[in-house]
């Protein structure tokens, strides 16, 4: 019995919610219909108002034209009148009575013609506006914008040329209008046809101005150097050396310290604070391998500070709106004009795309490896088999891989091999050789 009461209550509640939902839907439909009716009514009233304004404009325009026409023709028409009263001048208007009558007749005739023909002009104007709107809808937005820009440029040129030709007798008053039509059309046509080339040209302007400013600055610097003493030249040259920004990967790698000791790296070494924080985060990780790498990076930094002193600086500037350390490093490189020292291939490519110079330790290492000439002999130890059948693999002291043909049988043996070819890859140099029998 209790379960039936519960079911009945649920059914009643569901019916109430259903009625409420139906009521809400009906109310929404009613509001939408009312809004649609009001919108249509407003649009119709606006159209009626515009038609009335247009009719008034046409009536007024034709009335003015009729009055002007009769004002010009009234002296000739007055000669045809024999009544002297109509030829007498009215002191109030400083014109004859016949002139005033003809003027009023011209205004009335023009207004009557305008009132009669205004519906025709209104319908034609409406059709023309619909046609223009349809043509604009067919055109892409960038073509419309390009056409407007071309029209503006053409009208400016026409106006400048029209001023020069406007003082020519007889035709001078008509030349500006003719120029406006010709150059307006040419401006629209040329800019729409050449908008891609013009866009590329405008995109190159910032680079052109930047290169020009750099050239001017370099010329000024050269003048300063020519007129300076030896000490001033040394100070100026040292100030022109770009700073070096160290990446996390190159600090952990450790070879940067050895390179600095050789003197190949000049200028200041800048360690951004976000790189230091990333090193500390790696040193605190639970993964033992990553923890060792992070601590090694901190030790390398300490060695650099102890050995090079003021040449190594910590940069406390951070970018709170950027989360990635690599992106922060590239942004800092753009601000300081410094070079990024890294081992990260992806960071290398991104920095170069954004105009930041990069020094890659791996590229330096590959560049200074000794060149293996075909026919040269060397002694190596075969440590494992290669990917292809019968191949053996050996390594030089600098880590260069040597693939030995038919070297599998010499694994764990020191043999003499002869270089047959060498291959340079993104990962490094690879040497191919064969055993010397």
Question: pLDDT tens-digit profile of 121-154?
Answer: 777 777 877 777 777 677 777 777 888 888 888 8
Give one DSSP letter per residue of 358-391, joined into a string.
EEEHHHHHHHTSPPPPTT-EEEEEB-EE-SSTT-
Buried b (16+ CB within 10 A) or exposed e, 34-48: eeeeeeeeeeeeeee
pLDDT in tens, 204-220: 777 777 777 766 766 66
Helix (H, G, I), strand (E, B) or coil at 424: strand
Q: Which residues is 393 bridged to in the sheet?
A: 384, 403
The pLDDT value recorded for residue 227 is 45
Half-sphere exposure of 70 (CA within 13 A, CB side): 18
Q: Is there a contact between 380 and 394 (Cβ–Cβ < 8 Å)?
A: yes
Query: pTM of the prediction?
Result: 0.41
Q: Is there a contact between 383 and 410 (Cβ–Cβ < 8 Å)?
A: no
pLDDT band at 90 (very low <50, low <70, confident <90, very high): low
pLDDT band at 426 (very low <50, low <70, confident <90, very high): low
Q: Is there a contact between 309 and 299 (Cβ–Cβ < 8 Å)?
A: no
Helix (H, G, I), strand (E, B) or coil at 242: coil
d(CA 311, CA 256): 14
Q: Is the pLDDT of residue 229 over 50?
A: no
d(CA 172, CA 164): 9
Tell whether domain 242-366 is in CATH 3.10.110.10: no
Residue found under tokens 């028409």 = 77
The pLDDT value recorded for residue 394 is 92
Q: Which residues is 424 bridged to in the sheet?
A: 429
For residue 244, give the nearest of 331, 341, 335 by alpha carbon: 341
pLDDT band at 393 (very low <50, low <70, confident <90, very high): very high
Q: Is the pLDDT of residue 413 over 80?
A: yes
Element holding 126 (H helix, E strand): helix 97-138
For residue 343, give the nearest of 363, 327, 326 by alpha carbon: 363
d(CA 143, CA 191): 9
d(CA 122, CA 266): 80
Helices (H), 227-323: 230-239, 248-253, 255-262, 273-283, 288-308
Structure tokens belonging to residue 107: 């205004």
Residue found under tokens 């024999």 = 82
Residue found under tokens 């693999």 = 393
The pLDDT value recorded for residue 220 is 63
Tell whether domain 369-435 is in CATH 2.40.50.140: yes
Q: Is the pLDDT of residue 65 over 60?
A: yes
pLDDT in tens, 275-333: 888 888 888 888 888 888 889 889 988 888 888 887 888 888 788 888 888 888 888 88
Q: CA-CA distances (angstroms) from residue 182 to 126, 188, 317, 384?
A: 27, 10, 58, 81
Minimum mean pLDDT range among 12-26, 168-182, 241-255: 12-26
* Sheet-wide strand order for 384-385: 377-381, 414-425, 428-435, 401-404, 392-395, 384-385
Phi/psi at 429 (nearest 5 deg)? -100, 140
Q: How far is CA 236 from the centre of its chain?
A: 37
Over range 241-268, report the average pLDDT.
84
């Amino acid at each position: 019995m209790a379960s039936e009461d519960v079911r009945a209550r649920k059914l009643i509640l569901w019916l109430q919610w259903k009625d409420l939902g139906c009521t809400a839907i009906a109310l929404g439909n009613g509001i939408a219909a009312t809004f649609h009716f009001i919108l249509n009514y407003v649009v119709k009233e606006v159209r009626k108002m515009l038609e009335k304004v247009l009719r008034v404009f046409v009536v007024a325009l034709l009335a003015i034209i009729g009055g002007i026409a009769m004002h010009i023709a009234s002296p000739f028409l007055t000669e045809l009148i024999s009544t002297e009263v109509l030829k007498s001048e009215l002191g109030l208007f400083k014109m004859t009575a016949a002139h005033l009558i003809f003027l009023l007749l011209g205004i009335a005739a023009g207004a009557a013609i305008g009132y009669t023909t205004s519906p025709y002009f209104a319908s034609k104007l409406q059709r023309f506006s619909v046609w223009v709107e349809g043509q604009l809808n067919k055109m892409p937005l960038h073509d419309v914008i390009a056409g407007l820009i071309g029209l503006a440029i053409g009208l400016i040129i026409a106006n400048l040329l029209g001023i020069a030709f406007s003082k020519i007798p007889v035709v001078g008053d008509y030349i500006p209008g003719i120029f406006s039509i010709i150059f307006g059309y040419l401006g629209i046509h040329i800019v729409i046809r050449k908008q891609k080339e013009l866009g590329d040209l405008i995109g190159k302007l910032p680079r052109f101005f930047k290169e020009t400013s750099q050239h001017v600055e370099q010329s000024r610097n050269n003048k300063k150097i020519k007129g300076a003493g030896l000490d001033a030249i040394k100070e100026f040259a040292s100030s022109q050396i770009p700073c070096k920004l160290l990446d996390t990967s190159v600090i952990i790698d450790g070879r940067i310290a050895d390179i600095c000791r050789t003197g190949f790296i000049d200028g200041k070494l800048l360690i951004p604070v976000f790189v230091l924080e990333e090193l500390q985060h790696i040193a605190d990780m639970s993964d033992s391998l990553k923890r060792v790498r992070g601590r090694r990076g901190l030790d390398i930094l300490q060695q650099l500070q102890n050995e090079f002193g003021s040449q190594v600086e910590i940069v406390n500037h951070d970018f709170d709106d950027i989360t990635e350390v690599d992106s922060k490093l590239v942004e800092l490189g753009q601000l300081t004009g410094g070079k990024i020292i890294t081992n990260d291939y992806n960071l290398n490519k991104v920095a170069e795309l954004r105009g930041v110079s990069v020094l890659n330790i791996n590229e330096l290492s590959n560049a200074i490896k000794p060149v293996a000439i075909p026919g040269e002999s060397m002694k190596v130890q075969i440590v494992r088999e290669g990917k292809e059948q019968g191949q053996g693999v050996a390594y030089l002291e600098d880590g260069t891989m040597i693939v030995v043909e038919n070297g599998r049988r010499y694994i764990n043996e020191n043999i003499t091999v002869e270089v047959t070819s060498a291959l340079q890859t993104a990962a490094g140099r690879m040497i191919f050789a064969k055993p010397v029998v």
